[in-house]
Structure 1
Amino acid sequence: MSDRWSVQNAKAKLSELMARARAGEPQHVGLDDACVLVSEADWNARQGASLGAWLVKSAPRGAPVPAASRASKRGDPFASKPNRKVKKR
Structure 2
Amino acid sequence: MSTLNVLRYSAVALGIAVGLKTDLGLKSEAARKSEQKAYSDKLQLIEQAKAEYAKLHAPKKEASSGSVAKFDLEDPNLDYAKVILGAVDSLKQ
| TM-score (normalizing by structure 2) | 0.31
Instruction: Please say which structure displays the higher CA radius of gyration.
Output: 2
| Structure 1 or 2: more strand by fraction | 1
